Chains A and B, each alone.
Chain A
Amino acid sequence: MRRCARWFILTGILFLAACSETGTGGFGSGSSFGTDPAGAVGDPTSPAYFQSAIGDRVFFEIDQSSLTEAGRIVLDGQADWLLENGDYSILVEGHADEQGTRAYNLALGARRANAVREYLSARGVAGSRIQTVSFGKERPVELCSRESCYSVNRRAVTLLDNLGS
């Protein structure tokens, strides 16, 4: 429920923001992975739309690499988008929270990234379009040392790369 509300608010805001956009702009350099917010969010084929409207990340329970129900819904959306926009390949980054040793968390992040890859693959996204990497606990997005931060750090993020340009 909360996710739907967030989606509505975000899309609302971004539609408003899009009104002031003048052009589509570039989608970022073709050789590097990255999300390019300069794309028109209103455009359902833009990475910005992917990132905000569909959701570029899924979250995990402590020590787990299995997808949650909420995660599967997000990935369904990702898979649909990727099938419609065949120009893009993706890099799935797996991450862990800081409650573990460095090497183990690297391996755990890799498991999480792989869980996403297998799911998308099963939905029809070609394996050649998917790469995975793990950052273990090296790149948290929230820095506090509490579960509220840990829960958003335990994630797998899907990054788009435009093969076309």
Chain B
Amino acid sequence: MKMMRYFDKGMLLFRLVLLAQLTFFATLGTAAPLRLEITEGVVEPLAFAAPAFIAENAGGAEYASQLAELVVQDLTSSGLFRVIPSRAHISKITSFSSPVQFSDWMAINAQALIAGAVTAEAGGQITVKFRVYDVFAGQEMGQGLQFTGRADGWRRIAHKVADVVYSRITGETGYFDSRVVFVSESGRKGARKKRLAVMDYDGENVQYLTDSSALVLAPRFSPSGDKLLYTSYESGFPRIYLMDVGSARRRVLQNSSGTMSFAPRFSPDGSSVVYSLEKGGNTDIYIMSLSSGKQRRLTNSPAIETAPSFSPDGTQVVFESDRSGDPQLYVMPARGGSAKRVSFGNGRYGTPVWSPRGDMIAFTKQSKGRFHIGVMRVDGSQERLLTASFLDEGPSWSPNGRVIMFARETQGANGASSLYSVDVSGRNLKPVRTPDGASDPAWSPLGG
């Protein structure tokens, strides 16, 4: 009968449907993994342990704990790391090659462990070797490494060790083995004595490069870290000079009478200098080849154009101009040409500096009577202000583009200027120690 046949097919259908659904559940249960999305974490310093380095011979003993302490200081000062003090350690590192008891370090919540050893060599040298461990993964991060150098340059060796640790954990290059050139200020406001000085990024090893007989402003390092550009009034007029850092010998670059030159910066390949030249009251941006001395005009407007800064790939220049009525930031091709405005907020923008990573521009912004250091993407978007005070200006990037150093001046007749640094995320704002007042900081390249 027809009904029967249809009914049988109907039963088959039911059974197929049931089978399909049961197998669906079955596959759900045994084959598909649980899928989870984590979209929020914490922003906090990573806890690490760095017990004192092991002195492998008597001569190394002097440096063993100092090296570890300076590595700890570098990493902690970056704001990304937090040290677990040695009194909390459960096990000790007694020998550089012995295996690590990871459970002991896990128990004190150290996420990374640095083990190091130092040996004194002949001729006043020391050799420092170290390993970095990822405690919770129970393995070494990268390979052990060693540096040999003069014993009295032990600080630099420690900075290099800290840079390696930093880069292994964060995946980016460090910035601890670097120097900062700045203007050291003394005397009262209105009659300041200013001179050029260089120091380690952490404030040690200050050396003066000029005396204070002439006003000096805004020094900047070359990409190789061995030369400086700066502005000096030693001729009675502001002019740009090129100085060799090692010998402190200098020569003037732009000397035309009736003009002023200032705000110089190197191109990324070190072959040219971009700067402001003032003629007849008008200030424009020029570029000069260091080898030939020939200069070429890059902007041509009755507005003030100044504070130029190259992009790290050398193709563009960001600068400050008041062509729209008040100072704003513009980007133009490095050979000159039409400039595109990139600052759009309420306020006046100045001192733009392109990040060494090429992704951001740092600047000074004035609004509602206060000064801010800020960063923005190179097209002007995502502007973020990092500081606020009576007078902050002149940001300079660390070699890895993560930290900004700038000058902050206090108000009033006894106002004085000093240096501060802040992470690009806005965290970790803190002062930088200098012997006197200080302004116009500029960071060297890594190793410079």
Contacts and interface: CB of A to CB of B under 8 A. Distances in A.
B280 interface: yes
B189 A143 contact: yes
Contact of B413 (A110, A134, A143): A143
A103 B391 contact: no
Contacts of B189: 140, 143
When A and B form their complex, which 7 residue pairs have the shortest distance between CB atoms, in order from nearest?
A: A114-B281, A143-B413, A145-B411, A101-B350, A107-B283, A107-B304, A103-B263
Contact of B412 (A102, A110, A144): A144
A104 B237 contact: no
A113 B262 CA distance: 16
Interface in A40-85: 63, 65
Interface string B227-265: 000000000111000000000000000000010101100
A131 B235 CA distance: 14
Interface string A94-123: 000011111110111011011101100000
A118 B281 CA distance: 10
Contacts of A98: 391, 409
B237 A111 contact: no
A115 to B, nearest CB: 7
Interface in B5-32: none
Contacts of B258: 131
Interface string B343-362: 00000101100000000000
A106 B260 contact: yes
Contact of B260 (A63, A110, A140, A145): A110
Contacts, number: 96
Nearest to A110: B278
B393 interface: yes
Contacts of B188: 143
A141 interface: yes
A141 to B, nearest CB: 7
Interface residues of B, number: 43
A18 interface: no
Given A102-B440, A134-B278, 18 more contacts: A98-B409, A100-B350, A101-B350, A103-B263, A103-B307, A106-B262, A110-B260, A110-B283, A111-B281, A133-B236, A134-B238, A138-B215, A139-B190, A139-B191, A140-B189, A143-B189, A143-B413, A145-B390
B278 A107 contact: yes
Interface string B380-405: 00000000001101100000000000
Given A102-B394, A145-B412, A114 B307 contact: no
Interface string B135-176: 000000000000000000000000000000000000000000
Nearest to B303: A107
A98 B280 CA distance: 23
A104 to B, nearest CB: 5
12 contacts: A65-B281, A98-B391, A98-B409, A102-B440, A104-B350, A106-B238, A107-B278, A113-B281, A118-B281, A143-B188, A143-B189, A143-B413
Contact of A101 (B276, B282, B307): B307
